[in-house]
Chain A
């Protein structure tokens, strides 16, 4: 799996994944576990629906005044000692980060999990520039060892089972094979920990950016996030614009929603709030902090009809419940963000020309809408994108003609009856040429349709 986008091959990717028994059982098991944990975690939250309303309203408020919040965040963060950079696109962000590192002669970079860094393919770029980049989140670490990309935004190695991880560690790290998760974690920790102490820089993302205080907020479980952001002398955080929340006073709403939606925890092991650099007298914190605010298409999304996707807080609940995602896995979607939120974000960020088959990757069942903590109307967005695909000319000409005929027939009872008659009469032909996948799964049309049986 490389950094090349393969969203156009969604069907082929998915078909390949369907034939991968270990992927399918790993996916099914993990998605079910997260789904159950989520439900259990929310069971005692009596005001869940009100909480979702509040979170949705807060996120919309941020989107309505995004520029204002972004400017407030930038000035407050700068006041607290951070250097704030603005990157228009992926290339700009990569250059800014590489430049900061090069200027300081940094060679070794430790990374906490960041999907935005995946979006801009940062690792490959820094490695090309001769730097040693180490992922320190366990899942990311596994993925990096295999040379893949994450297949889930919260659980990057969700598609791997422990036997595969055991084999990988034995092969790449020269340890004895074990499939005991605790042992595997220990092995990874030992290997990663050495690097922390010698790293020149730490690279992280952020779950939220509180505008009023210029603070970064990170939700993590393994402790690596705290190490990455405090042990090395230099910390670079990269985040996309829509991560803003008005202030830290709004954080409790998201503390209650995000971990429960993501992993079914009532809170993550660590919630780190980073406001600026290490102050005199403080024992921890990076001496130098750079914050890269990435646009990469967000401003354009903001002005369009699918802007609500920017409310997303990256919990991954939508993918855990998605029947398609849990069956075909994240790599099938062919870019950084998979599952329901990924369909929308990928088509908007990379353009219809590179991604249009993704808009079909939903049965429109609405399971995602039911769990989204910030009430993104994902099904409505899929429908809007499908309309846009037709408008932008990426639908098959035959489909377009077919739908025109369908519309005409639906408005003309006699034409409709004629269609029924023809398909019934020439059923063997329909089956032969209508595609065995489709017509082969339909029953034979009734000899006398219902409308002719009604007295």
Chain B
């Protein structure tokens, strides 16, 4: 099987180890991952801030880079949701681009979604260690409907004890540009999320979006890192 890997700008700039873990997972499941050169960002920062034209520029670039028919897999629920639900809207007045956007929307998957549904990774005896809790990121759960897949994967891991987090689906306060525009509220929400995480007694918290994990990671750092923060790709690839 061949897939196109969309690394996302956050993973590319801040968390390359998440991308590497994703590649390791693909290798483990016999998937040939192509990394289309020239990929940058899906354009969500501009789109969410109301700059549709600038978002369109980014989206058009994405669509030219991610040409073809192979599934596009990305370790981010938010970026996948952007391509899936917002790209077609962005090109409503341009039939050619709209068709391209629809095609991309039809073949983009978030990593955990792809691992469960296409690769049945939860039946493959992945292994890890420690007690792990999970933050359910907003766009992943609400826009993509990916609620159970990460839990199925974590629960399937040998040597991992999964503990649910209270209010796991409550927003961590990242919100993309929200973090920059209303930092006080963003921090307060991250603090509340950190409280929920610490209360589980887990060694590590995981999730499927680098943005949320970065925000949670900052709140954890302020408390002296009582709980590790790791992307689900890293957790799943740990035993490989």
Residues of A within 8 A of B (CB): 11, 14-15, 18, 323-324, 327-328, 359-367, 369-370, 383, 385-390, 395, 399-400, 403-404, 406-413, 416, 420, 423, 435, 437-438, 441-443, 445-446, 448-451, 453-454
Contact = CB atoms under 8 A, between A and B. Distances in A.
B57 A363 contact: no
Contacts of B14: 442-443, 445-446
A413 B38 contact: yes
- Per DSSP, chain B at the interface is helix
Nearest to A440: B218
Contacts of B46: 403, 406-407, 410
Given A387-B50, A387-B52, A389-B50, A407 B43 contact: yes
B39 A327 contact: no
17 contacts: A15-B184, A18-B184, A324-B182, A362-B178, A365-B138, A365-B142, A365-B171, A383-B47, A406-B54, A407-B51, A411-B40, A420-B13, A441-B218, A442-B218, A446-B15, A450-B11, A454-B19
A453 B23 CA distance: 11
B184 A14 contact: yes
B54 A437 contact: no
Contacts of B40: 409-413, 416
Contact of A411 (B48, B58, B138): B58
B181 interface: yes
Nearest to B43: A410
Given A383-B50, A410-B58, A364 B13 contact: no
B177 to A, nearest CB: 8
Interface stretch (B99-107, B126-134, B150-158, B185-193): B185-193
Contacts, number: 178
B208 to A, nearest CB: 15
Contacts of A409: 40
Chain B CB within 10 Å, residue with most, of A370, A413, A449 = A449
B41 interface: yes
Nearest to A408: B57
Interface in B13-64: 13-16, 18-20, 23, 35, 37-41, 43, 45-58, 60-61
A395 B38 contact: no
Given A370-B142, A388-B50, A446 B13 contact: yes
Nearest to A390: B50
Contacts of B182: 11, 14, 324, 360-361
A441 B179 contact: yes
B217 A365 contact: no
B143 interface: yes
Given A406-B46, A413-B40, A453 B16 contact: yes
A234 to B, nearest CB: 45
B72 to A, nearest CB: 15
A438 B184 CA distance: 10
Contacts of A395: 49-50
B6 to A, nearest CB: 11
Contacts of A328: 185
Interface of B: 7, 9, 11-16, 18-20, 23, 35, 37-41, 43, 45-58, 60-61, 138-139, 142-143, 169-171, 173-189, 192, 214-215, 217-218
B54 A403 contact: yes
B214 A443 contact: yes
Given A364-B175, A387-B52, A411 B139 contact: no
A449 B45 contact: no
B23 A327 contact: no
A366 B184 contact: no
B192 A366 contact: no
A366 B35 CA distance: 31
Given A389-B50, A406-B45, 20 more contacts: A323-B170, A327-B189, A359-B50, A364-B138, A366-B138, A366-B139, A367-B169, A367-B170, A387-B52, A395-B50, A406-B41, A407-B56, A407-B58, A410-B58, A416-B40, A420-B12, A441-B215, A449-B13, A450-B18, A454-B7
Of the listed residues A359, A360, A407, A448, the one surrounded by the most CB atoms of chain B closer than 10 A to its CB is: A407
Most chain B C-beta atoms within 10 Å of own C-beta, residue among A360, A365, A390, A395: A365
A448 B11 CA distance: 11
A75 to B, nearest CB: 41
A450 B7 contact: yes
Contacts of A15: 184
A328 B52 CA distance: 29
B51 A441 contact: no
Contacts of B52: 387
Given A386-B49, A446-B13, A363 B138 contact: yes
Contacts of B215: 441
Contacts of A362: 175, 178
Contacts of A360: 177-178, 181-182
A443 B217 contact: yes
B154 to A, nearest CB: 22
Q: What are the 4 A-B residue pairs with the smallest beta carbon separation, nearest first?
A: A386-B50, A407-B54, A363-B175, A410-B58
Nearest to A391: B50
Contact of B35 (A364, A400, A448, A454): A454
A206 to B, nearest CB: 33
B184 A450 contact: no
